[in-house]
Every structure is written in C-alpha cells, then in structure tokens.
Amino acid sequence: MKDDRRILLKIIEHCNGIEEAVQYFGKDGEDFIGNKIFQKSCILDIFQIGEAVKSLSSGITNNHPEVPWKKISGFRDIIAHDYERVSLEDTWITITEEVPDLKEKCESILAEINTRRQ
C-alpha cells in the first residue's frame, strides 16, 4: 500500500520550498525571469512535486479530481524530457497561482486522511 500521507507531506514540503524561494529572490515575475538560480530552484521543486504526484495511490487521485494530477505530472515530464519547452512566464504563473492552490488542497486531503486515522 502506498503511503499517501508521506507523499502528500513531501508535496507540501516542495510547495514550501517554492514559497521560500519567492520570499528570498523576489515576488516579481521579472526577478524570476532574470535569475537562473531562482528559476532552477523553483523548477526543481516543481519537478519533485510532479514525481511525487506519480506515486500517489489511485484512491487519492480518483477521489480528488479537483486537483489537476495529470497536468502536474505532465509538467514534470516536460521539465525532464523537453526542458526547452518550459516557458518561464507560464512557470511563474504556476509558482504564484497554482502551487499555493495545490498546497492548500494537499493540506486538506492530508487533514482528511489524519481524521480517518484517529
């Protein structure tokens, strides 16, 4: 049986890593586009999120269609296999809009799991 709880915690950890990078490097898209270290930091966390999503059980992914699991894992595949296709502008939108939403949804799913364990 997959340890969805541990995987969700890992996804949240990588979301936090992206938030920390934004706090450290700047909250502006121009800062992101102009800083390779900022880009690589966030893109590595996005890659790790996509990798973790692929490890979640079908029970989690099927029961939570509000999370775009396939889109997340698909972005990971683009990063891994076709990096030149990665748009920095789209990545910035992912970082500032989609990652906080994903973190919130994963925290909610985790709370649901924890409630069932009690």
What are the sequence ranges of the domains in the chain? 4-117
- Report the sign of the C-alpha dihedral through residues 37, 38, 43, 46, in that order: positive
Distance (Å, whole) CA 56 – CA 39: 26
Contact (CB, 8 A) for 46 and 94: yes
pTM: 0.93
CB-based contacts of 30-33 (< 8 A; 24+ apart in sequence): 32/88, 32/91, 32/92, 32/95, 33/88, 33/89, 33/92
Asked whether 54 and 102 are in contact (CB, 8 A), the reply is no
> What pLDDT score does 1 carry?
42
Q: Give pLDDT tens digits along the chain (118 positions).
A: 469 999 999 999 999 999 999 999 988 999 999 999 999 999 999 999 999 999 999 999 999 999 999 999 999 999 999 988 889 999 999 999 999 999 999 999 999 998 887 5
In this structure, are residues 32 and 38 in contact, taking their beta carbons and an 8 Å threshold? yes
Inter-axis angle of helices 99-117 and 4-25, to 10 degrees? 150
Query: What is the rounded distance in angstroms from the CA atom of residue 44 to the CA atom of residue 4?
Result: 21
